[in-house]
Amino acid sequence: MAQLLRKLRRAVLNTDPSFCDMHEDARASRAAEEYLALIRPQLQQAFGGRTLAILDAGCQAGRLLIPLAQDGHRLMGIDASIFALRRARQHARERGLRVRLQRGNLTDLRRWVAPNSFDVVICAEVLYLCRNYRDILKRLVESLKPGGLLVASHRPPLHYIGYGLHHGDPAGAAGVLGRSEGNSPEGGYHNWQTEAELRALYHELGLRVLDCRAIDHVERRIPSARLVEFPSLQQTLAGGPRTDDGWIIPSYLLMIAQTAPAAHA
């Protein structure tokens, strides 16, 4: 009933009090600081101090878009949620920033973004929800100028393994191994990749990987008894950071990669 009322309120009244503003949410803001601490040095190294055209694909309420606009860059954000864009506009307005915001699905990216038009494309915490993530990733790469940077986050298998074990579903956690997409222990469709798989994918797209980092770590309490029947999970977790009764699990792998420079460069 609560979900139905929420849908009615969104459709009829165009409001959603339960909407999570990731620009204001404490954990999401901490993750944004991690992203920015890795992104900003790469921008400086690749482009020096010049003003950049940056696309935030799946910008939500602007937790990355707003700080980068404050750095002096030209930002465009695309998101499917009218509620997210409303908050992003509000945050930009409060800070006196001019940003371009567009409501839309990344599958239709070419409606608003021409090929070779951005110095940097960011896509944080979006692709793992998309069945056509490979196609979207290809469109994002094609949106970059020669020598441009792609910054994208992906779910690692460890995220769903840790989630399944933490919530008493070792069979679901074990089911993550040996595949890279499908129904996950969190419920519904997701996709996930190891660092090696991501590096291979990015190589296929003609990108040079500059950095790959595990970020947004979460403590998962995992009783040892849940691992007894699943040695493959014990092996996967072995060597990872431990707590007294669990593991520290990354929520995302952040990839930073570069397209080939122009032929005359």
pLDDT, position 242: 85
Give, for 119, the enclosing helix (H) or strand (E): strand 118-123
- Determine contact, residues 197/243, Cβ cutoff 8 Å: no
pLDDT, position 238: 83
Residues of the chain with pLDDT under 70: 1-18, 264-265
DSSP state of 13: I
CATH 3.40.720.10 assigned to domain 18-258? The reply is no
pLDDT, position 264: 61
pLDDT, position 11: 43
Give, in degrees to the nearest 5, the angle at Cα 214 between 188 and 37: 120
Residue 149: Cβ within 10 Å count: 25
**Model pTM score:** 0.90
